[in-house]
Chains A and B, each alone.
Chain A
Amino acid sequence: DAKTTQPPSMDCAEGRAANLPCNHSTISGNEYVYWYRQIHSQGPQYIIHGLKNNETNEMASLIITEDRKSSTLILPHATLRDTAVYYCIVRVALAAGNKLTFGGGTRVLVKP
């Protein structure tokens, strides 16, 4: 799986958009970009994933650059409950035994 690089931490104001960057310059053509988050003391939670097109769901939007070497997760209106560690994961299709490899992630603190 391609290596990802994320900033270790960032703050965001409540109600504002949070833009979380991820660098994955060694991504290969068949690898997807996944985002998960882990709220303190809880299990990881799936947010979104994409291959090359931008994606949006009820939780977030995922913007992938044209060369696919980086992406940005956007939380459109951050709330205090969005405080968590956010993980960007790049991997091929999730074959049965393929584990999720969580790197350091970005610790996001949403402030009132």
Chain B
Amino acid sequence: NAGVTQTPKFRVLKTGQSMTLLCAQDMNHEYMYWYRQDPGMGLRLIHYSVGEGTTAKGEVPDGYNVSRLKKQNFLLGLESAAPSQTSVYFCASREAGDYNEQFFGPGTRLTVL
């Protein structure tokens, strides 16, 4: 199993450009999450999904959109990138249920100039 993979690993954007980050998991997990981590800080939840075709807002959803058209994929979109969105983005997934741990991807380092 590859676990949770993220594409791309690095990206540099100019202000106003758009892009999509892809998260894929091969563990048949129901729940998927997008977090961002700024230097020296903890994770902040952007959006999450509890199943194919569903999405919900997390702690810091503004400026991002998501889609979960397939169970194994969770896409994070930036329609008009801003320097404040410079961060490391982590995707995670877990099984349904109360106590299951989250499995994280390796992260995408995004810089917006």
Contact = CB atoms under 8 A, between A and B. Distances in A.
A94 B50 contact: no
B31 A43 contact: no
Contacts of A99: 33, 35, 43-45, 48, 58-59
Please tell me the size bucket of the interface on B: 20 to 34
B98 A44 contact: no
A96 B99 contact: no
Interface in B47-61: 48, 50, 56, 58-59
A102 B43 contact: yes
A99 B33 CA distance: 9
B64 interface: no
A44 B43 contact: yes
A31 B48 CA distance: 22
A101 B33 CA distance: 13
Given A94-B94, A99-B59, A101-B42, A45 B104 contact: yes
A103 interface: yes
Contact of B99 (A41, A42, A49): A49
Interface string B83-110: 0000000101010101111111111000
B59 A34 contact: no
A64 to B, nearest CB: 15
Closest 7 CB pairs of A and B: A43-B104, A102-B42, A93-B98, A46-B101, A99-B45, A96-B50, A43-B90
Given A96-B96, A97-B50, A102-B43, 10 more contacts: A32-B99, A34-B101, A43-B90, A43-B104, A44-B43, A45-B104, A49-B99, A96-B31, A99-B44, A101-B42
